[in-house]
């Protein structure tokens, strides 16, 4: 069978699993609300790239059309959040965060859907199995609409905002675009656990790829997986279509609410064990390292170490993403170490807004407890409630909000603040951590009204 025909067949299989009845609703979610989006005028000047000599074209490490994404690194593309209007993020606008170039069925044959296998095993598993793609499609699946956000989203705030000690932070300059929202179709962990049986005393679930790089996998405490066993799982479709290579084809994890790293792409193995497990992505990568954070406990003799040693354990793993918010305006970049080559503003340049009645629009999310309210403050004035626009489908989804503003000529600072259903509000400042993880400080958007 030709590769194309195989792909078409597998695609139709996936579509058959996706519930027909929800297609109309699904489409409606993608339509941007009318009149959603302020009349933003970006300065027409050439991007920062024009100032420096163009670099040699990098090896093409991202497979999908990335023309609607911001280039922040060879294997990393940010969403252009200042252009976001829809409740669901289309795949073409969805950020890509890869530690290595995207592997495909062509470059890595184990990722071809008929060759792909998922091994579920380990000392705490009663009946180890190896599932094929068809086996997975044959299992009961669910779909969930949820945000996905990189732990490093908002790292830029450390550099740009006073009080956040940005000098000590390094990593990719995401600005605020490492977040998106999709419908994820997945076989819940509850189904996986029922299928293989878990022995008493399980402590860790290790989700492993090993395909794009030999250190790509992440452990989750078994109790945390159990607590979310219906909401997280083994995902094979995004926004009603089979996964594309950049987002983990054929199969990835989806762990709603947790920082993106938990959602291991190109998944090949789930191992359940009665020991604690350490690897790169919970020791010196995707962890909080800084004076405010204690090194986690470990047992050098009893724990399992994969490609790391006890000395690599530097700080606690980032888990749930905190409450956050943004308005659809690019941040002014003055102090960040880099300005992405296709960023719409040059270094130090302010976005322009026309004077008069404006409707500011934005997004707020708080996946652990859900968004209770969103407030805005202009030039340090009183906090005022924004209007949350439906749909608001539960704790894992973001909400869109609007805020009418009589914009007067001159320079202004607009701040946004989300409060979640546990009563937790975004703080003015957060403690520094050297990898710039999970910055949820109130963002300050500067605009020039003309």
Ligand X SMILES: Nc1nc2c(c(=O)[nH]1)N[C@H]1C(S)=C(S)[C@@H](COP(=O)(O)O)O[C@H]1N2
Interface residues with Mo ion (CB under 5 A) are: 97, 150, 260-261
From the list Mo ion, ligand X, none, partner contacted by residue 148 (C-beta under 5 to 8 A by kind): ligand X
Which of ligand X, Mo ion, none interacts with 212 (beta carbon under 5 to 8 A by kind)? ligand X
- Which whole-number Å values give the CA distances from 86 to 91, 258, 363, in the listed order? 12, 22, 10
- The yes or no reply on residue 97 touching ligand X (CB under 6 A) is yes
**Measured from the CB of residue 190, what is the shortest distance to ligand X in angstroms?**
22
Q: Which is nearer to ligand X, 178 or 196 (CB)?
A: 178
99 binds ligand X (CB under 6 A): yes
Q: Which is nearer to Mo ion, 97 or 417 (CB)?
A: 97
Residue 263 interacts with which of Mo ion, ligand X, none, CB < 5 to 8 Å by class: ligand X
Binding site partner of 365, from Mo ion, ligand X, none, Cβ cut-off 5-8 A by kind:
none
Tokens read off for 188: 């819940």
Binding to ligand X by residue 439, rule CB under 6 A?
Answer: no
Residue 264, contacted partner among Mo ion, ligand X, none, CB below 5-8 A by kind: ligand X
Residue 216 touches ligand X, criterion: CB under 6 A:
yes
Contact partner, 396, from ligand X, Mo ion, none, Cβ < 5-8 Å per class: none
Residue closer to ligand X by CB (options 263, 273) is: 263
3-state secondary structure the chain: CCHHHHHHHHHHHHHHHCCHHHHHHHHHHHCCCCCCCCCEECCCCCCHHHHCCCCCCCCCCCCCCCCCEEEEECCEEEECHHHCCCCCCCHHHCCEECCCCCCCCCCCHHHCCCCCEEEEECCCECCCEEEEHHHHHHCCCEEEEEEEECCCCCHHHHHHCCCCCHHHCCCCCCCCCCEEEEEEEEEEHHHHHHHHCECCCCCEEEEECCCCCCCCEEEEEHHHHHHCCCCCEEEEEECCEECCHHHCCCCEEECCCECHHHCCCCCCEEEEECCCEECHHHCCCCECCCCCCCCCCCCCCCCEECCCCHHHCCCCECCECCCEEEECCCCCCCCCCCCCCCCCCCCCCCCEECCEEEEEEEEEECCCCCEEEEEEEECCCCCEECEEECCCCCCCCCEEEEEEEEECCEEEEEEEEEEECCCCECCCCCCCCCCCCCCCCCCEEEEEEC
Distance of closest approach, residue 247 Cβ to ligand X, in angstroms: 4
Among 317, 314, 346, residue whose Cα is nearest residue 332: 346
CB of 375 to Mo ion, least distance (A): 28
Instruction: Based on the shown chain and the rule CB under 6 A, indicate whether residue 261 belongs to the binding site for ligand X.
Output: yes
The span from the CA of 416 to the CA of 351, in Å, is 17
- CB of 172 or CB of 443, closer to ligand X: 172
Burial (CB count <10 Å: 0-12, 13-18, 19+), residue 152: buried
Contact between 417 and ligand X per CB under 6 A: no
374 part of the interface to ligand X, by CB under 6 A: no
Shortest CB 142 distance to Mo ion, Å: 24
Q: Are 327 and 416 in contact (CB under 8 A)?
A: yes
- Which of 265, 276, 395, 417 binds ligand X (CB under 6 A)? It is 265
Does position 89 bind ligand X by CB under 6 A?
no
What are 437's two structure tokens? 């993880």
Query: Does residue 276 touch ligand X according to CB under 6 A?
Result: no
- The partner in contact with residue 239, picked from Mo ion, ligand X, none with C-beta cut-offs of 5 to 8 angstroms by kind, is none
- Judged by beta carbon, residue 124 or residue 261, the one nearer Mo ion is 261
Q: Which is nearer to ligand X, 183 or 212 (CB)?
A: 212
Task: Please give the size of the binding site for ligand X, defined by CB under 6 A.
Answer: 18
Decide: is 436 part of the binding site for ligand X (CB under 6 A).
no
Examine residue 150 and tell whether it contacts ligand X (CB under 6 A): yes
Task: Please state the closest distance from residue 251 (CB atom) to ligand X, in A.
Answer: 11
Cβ closest to Mo ion, residue 240 vs residue 257: 257
Does position 266 bind ligand X by CB under 6 A? yes
Residue 185 as a binder of ligand X (CB under 6 A): the answer is no
Residue 383: CB minimum distance to Mo ion, A: 30
Closest CA to 143 of 183, 190, 189: 183
| List 18, 120, 125, 148, residue binding ligand X (CB under 6 A) | 148
Tell me if 242 sits within 8 A of 257, measured CB to CB.
Answer: no
Residue 398 as a binder of ligand X (CB under 6 A): the answer is no
Q: Which residue is nearest to ligand X (CB)?
A: 260
> Which of residues 243 and 447 has its CB atom nearest to ligand X in the complex?
243
260 is a contact residue toward ligand X (CB under 6 A): yes
**Interface ranges with ligand X (CB under 6 A):** 94-99, 148, 150, 209, 212, 216, 247, 260-261, 263-266
């Amino acid at each position: 069978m030709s590769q194309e025909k195989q792909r078409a067949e597998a695609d139709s299989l996936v579509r058959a699993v996706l519930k027909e009845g929800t297609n109309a609703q699904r489409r409606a979610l993608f339509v941007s609300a009318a009149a959603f989006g302020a009349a933003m005028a970006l300065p027409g000047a050439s991007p920062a790239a024009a100032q420096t000599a163009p670099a040699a074209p990098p090896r093409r490490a991202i497979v999908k059309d990335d023309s609607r994404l911001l280039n922040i690194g060879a294997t990393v593309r940010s969403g252009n959040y200042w252009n976001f209007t829809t409740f669901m993020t289309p795949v073409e606008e969805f950020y890509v965060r890869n530690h290595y170039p995207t592997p495909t069925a062509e470059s890595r044959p184990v990722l071809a859907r008929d060759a792909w296998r998922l091994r579920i095993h380990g000392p705490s598993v009663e009946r180890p199995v190896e599932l094929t793609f068809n086996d997975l499609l044959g299992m009961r699946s669910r779909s969930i609409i949820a945000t996905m956000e990189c732990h490093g989203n908002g790292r830029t705030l450390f550099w740009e905002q006073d009080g956040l000690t940005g000098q000590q932070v390094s990593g990719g300059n995401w600005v605020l675009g490492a977040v998106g929202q999709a419908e994820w179709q997945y076989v819940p962990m509850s189904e996986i656990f029922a299928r293989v049986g878990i022995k008493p005393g399980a402590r860790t679930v290790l989700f492993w790829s090993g395909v794009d790089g030999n250190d790509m996998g992440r452990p989750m405490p078994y109790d945390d997986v159990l607590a979310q066993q219906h909401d997280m799982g083994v995902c094979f479709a995004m926004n009603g279509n089979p996964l594309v290579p950049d987002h983990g084809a054929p199969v990835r994890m989806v762990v709603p609410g947790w920082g993106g790293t938990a959602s291991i792409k190109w998944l090949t193995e789930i191992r359940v064990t009665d020991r604690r497990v350490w690897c790169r992505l919970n020791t010196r990568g995707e962890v909080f390292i800084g004076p405010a954070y204690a090194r986690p406990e470990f047992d050098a003799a009893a724990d399992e170490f994969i490609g790391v040693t006890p000395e690599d354990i530097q700080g606690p793993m980032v888990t749930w993403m905190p409450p956050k918010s943004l308005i659809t305006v690019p941040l002014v970049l003055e102090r960040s170490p880099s300005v992405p080559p296709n960023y719409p503003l040059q270094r130090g340049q302010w976005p322009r807004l026309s004077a008069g009645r404006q409707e500011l629009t934005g997004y707020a999310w708080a996946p652990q407890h859900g968004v209770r309210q969103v407030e805005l403050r202009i030039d340090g004035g009183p906090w005022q409630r924004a209007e949350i626009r439906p749909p608001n489908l539960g704790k894992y989804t973001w909400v869109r909000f609007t805020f009418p503003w009589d914009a007067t000529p001159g320079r202004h600072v607009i701040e946004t603040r989300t409060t979640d259903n546990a009563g937790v509000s975004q703080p003015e400042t957060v403690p520094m951590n050297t990898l710039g993880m999970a910055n949820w400080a109130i963002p300050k958007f500067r605009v020039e009204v003309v």
